[in-house]
Amino acid sequence: MRLVLLGPPGAGKGTQAELLSDKLGVPHISTGNLFRANIDQQTPLGREAQKYLDAGNLVPSDVTNRMVESRIAEPDAANGFVLDGYPRTVDQAEALEKMLKESSRELDAVVSIVVPEDVVVARMLGRGRADDNEGVIRNRLRVYREETEPLLDHYDGTVVAVDGVGEVDEVNERILRALGR
16 annotated ligand binder:
no
Residues near 127 by beta carbon (within 8 Å), at least 6 away in sequence: 10
Shortest separation between residue 66's beta carbon and ligand ADP, angstroms: 11
- Residues 20, 26, 59, 82: which binds ligand ADP (CB under 6 A)? 59
CA distance 90 to 44: 26
Taking the least distance from each CB to ligand ADP, the nearer of 57 and 176 is 57
Buried b (16+ CB within 10 A) or exposed e, 52-86: bbeebebbebeebbebbeebbeeeebeebbbbbbb
Does position 27 interact with ligand ADP (CB under 6 A)? The reply is no
Residue with the CB atom nearest ligand ADP in the bound state: 32
Strands of 37-108 (E only): list them.
81-84
Per CB under 6 A, 151 contacts ligand ADP? no
Q: Does 32 bind ligand ADP (CB under 6 A)?
A: yes
88 annotated as ligand-binding = yes
Among 5, 17, 29, 53, binds ligand ADP (CB under 6 A): 53
Q: Is 140 annotated as a binding residue?
A: yes
E strand or H helix at 32, and its extent?
A: helix 31-40
Q: Which residues bind ligand ADP (CB under 6 A)?
A: 9-10, 31-32, 35, 52-53, 56-59, 64, 85-86, 88, 92, 140
